Amino acid sequence: MTYSLKRRLFLSGALSAFAMAGHAGAPAVSLRPQMRPKGLVGPDGRPRPPEAQDLIDAARLNGKVSYAVIDMRTGAALEARNGADGMPPASVTKAITALYALDALGPTYRFQTRLVATGPVDNGIIQGDLVLVGGGDPVLDTDALAGMAQQLAAAGVRGVTGDFRVFGGALPFERVIDAAQPDQVGYNPAVSGLNLNFNRVHFQWERASGGYTVTMDARSAKYRPAVQVARMTVAERSAPLYTYSDGGDHDQWTVARSGLGKSGARWLPVRYPDSYAGEVFTSLASAHGVKLPKAKIQAAPPSGETLVSHHSDPLPDILKGMLKYSNNLTAELVGMTATVARMGQAESLAASAREMTAWARADLGLEGATLVDHSGLGSRSRVSARAMARMLVAAPRHAALHPMLKPFTMRGADGKPDQNHPVSVEAKTGTLHFVSALAGYATGPSGRPMAFAIFTQDEASRAGLETSSEDRPPGASAWNRRAKTLQQSLIERWDAAYGA
C-alpha cells in the first residue's frame, strides 16, 4: 500500500510539473538550479509525459481500459489501447442518439401535446370526450400542463358530457428502461408517448411527534399538485430501504423508517405515466374552473378537434439539455421518435435501439457497435473507442455534435476544478457502476484539436449487481473517481505528447 501511494503521488506530481512547464509560461532560464526527476526529460531537453501504462497502473481500476485519440486536422491515429474492443459506452450513447434524432427529425422539430375534443363544444360543455394526447415530449412538465389547462378555460370550456381520457400510444410503453436497475432510482422510469416531469414523482418526508408526514407530488417551478397514482407507506424494518409493488392502477412504495432521518426528499420513478399526467391535468383544470372526471386510458388515437396544443422547444435545445444533464428518458423518447419517423413505427424500445444500431453502423461508421437502448443505461451495449473517435472526427458529425457538448471540467494539481486549465475539453461522460466513459474533443495551447474516446470497466466488480437493490454498491463511487482521474491524466498526456 505504501509503495502504491508513493507511486500515485509521484505520477500526479510529475504530470502537474509537466503541465506547468509546458503551459504556464515558465522562464527560459531557471531563476535557481532545480533537480529534474528522472524520466521526465527527453533527449531534446523538453519534459517527457508519463507513459500511459504508468497512468493506468496508478489508477488501480482492476479492469479493462480502452482508448483512442485522433488528430482532428489530419485524421491520423495518434495513440490507442484496446481500441477495437467493444466496451460499454454508458451515457456516451446519448451522443449517438443526438445525431440519430437530428438525422431523422431535423433541427426544427418540436414535440406536440394536444387536447382533443371528440364532439362539439356547446355552452362551454364538450359534447363527448376530452383527450390529452401525448406526442412523446420528453420535457413536458406540470407548468406546461397548467398552461394547457388555462388555455382550455380561456376557450370557454367548463366540462364534458363524456370522459376525460389520456392517450400515450404514440410511442411504445415500457415499464422501465433497464430491468437490471434498482426499483427506486429515478433515472429508470417508465417510457410512454405521454410523459410528465421525466416520469418522476417527488417524495418528501418529515418527522413529527406522531411519526412521519409523507407527501407525493408532481412538483414543478410553480405548482405542487399531490397525486395518488404513486403512494408511500413508512414500514418498520431496517432493510431494504425501499420496496415497490404494482398496485394495479398505482405505484405502491414502502420505505424503511430507520433510513429516513429527520427529513428529506428524493425523486422516485413513475410506472403509470399516462395516468400520472391525467391525474395532474385533472387537478390543474379544476383549479381553472374546468370540471373533469377521473382520467381513463385510451388505446387508440382520438379523432376530433384539437382545442389546445403545446409545443416543446426545438429539438437541438432538447438534445443539448439531454447531453448536459444526461437524462435517460429524454434519450429514449427522442430515439424512439426518430425511429418512428424513419420506419413508420417502433415496436419496442429494444427494436428501436436495433434500428439505431443499424443506422450508426451504416451512417456513422461505428463498425461492430451494438446498442440495446438510446440512453446507455443498459450495460450490454458495446462500442469500440476507435470507432467512436473516428465518428467524432467526421466533419458533418463534428459540426452537429460539438456545439451541444458541455465543457468537461479539468482539475488542477490540488484536485479542485481549474477553470484556467490549459487544455480545453468538450465531451460526453458516461457512468454506470464500475463503468466510466468519456468521449469528445480536446485542444491544448498549441491549438491542435484532438478527438478521443476513453472506455473503462471492471466487469468482475459488476457481477451480481443485477440483483442488487442498492443505489450505490460498495466501492463504486471510489472506482469512478479513479476512472475520472485517469481520463484527465490521459488527456493531459496526449496534449503533452502530441500537442506541440
pLDDT of amino acid 210: 84
How high is the pLDDT of residue 46?
57
The three three-digit cell numbers of residue 397, written as one number = 458529425
Q: 67 — alpha (psi -120 to 50), left (phi > 0) or beta?
A: beta
**Under a CB-based contact definition with an 8 Å cutoff, are residues 236 and 259 in contact?**
no
CA torsion angle 94 97 102 107 (round to 10):
-30
pLDDT digits (tens, 9 = 90+) for 371-391: 999 999 999 999 999 999 999
What pLDDT is attached to residue 359?
98
Q: What is the pLDDT of residue 466?
A: 66
108-150 pLDDT per residue, tens? 999 999 999 999 999 999 999 999 999 999 999 999 999 999 9
In single-letter form, the type of residue at position 449 comes to P
State residue 20 phi and psi, 5-degree precision: -65, -40
CA distances from 41 to 10, 22, 176, 386, 499 (A): 15, 12, 54, 30, 17
- What's the confidence (pLDDT) of residue 468? 64
The backbone region for 435, taken as left when phi is positive above 0, alpha when psi lies in -120 to 50, beta otherwise, is beta
The two counts, helices (H) then strands (E), for the chain are 12, 22
Q: Where are the alpha helices (DSSP H) in 141-253?
A: 142-154
Q: Are 410 and 488 in contact (CB under 8 A)?
A: yes
Q: What is the pLDDT of residues 243-281, one digit of tens each?
A: 999 999 999 999 999 999 999 999 999 999 999 999 999
Cβ–Cβ under 8 Å, residues 90 and 456: no
Q: 3-class DSSP state for residue 414?
A: coil
What is the C-alpha to C-alpha distance for residues 138 and 133, in angstroms, rounded to an integer?
14
C-alpha pair distances (Å), 394 with each of 66, 356, 486: 21, 18, 26
Supply the pLDDT for residue 307: 98
Mean pLDDT over each residue of the chain, to the nearest integer: 91
Confidence at residue 471, expressed as pLDDT on a 0 to 100 scale: 75
What does R_g of the chain's alpha carbons equal in angstroms? 26
> 111 near 134, Cβ under 8 Å?
no
The helix, strand and coil proportions of the chain, stated in percent and rounded to the nearest 5, come to 35, 25, 40
pLDDT score, position 463: 86
Identify the pLDDT of residue 469. 65
Whether the per-residue pLDDT at 184 is higher than 60: the answer is yes
pLDDT, one tens digit per residue, over 17-58 is: 344 333 333 333 233 333 334 444 444 455 789 999 999 999
For 284-290, what is the mean pLDDT? 98
Judge whether residue 300 has pLDDT over 60.
yes
Q: What is the pLDDT of residue 15?
A: 41
User: What are the phi and psi torsion angles at 144 (to 5°)?
Assistant: -65, -45
8 A C-beta contact, residue 115 and residue 148: yes
Which residues have a Cβ under 8 Å from the Cβ of 17 and sit 6 or more positions away?
37, 40, 47
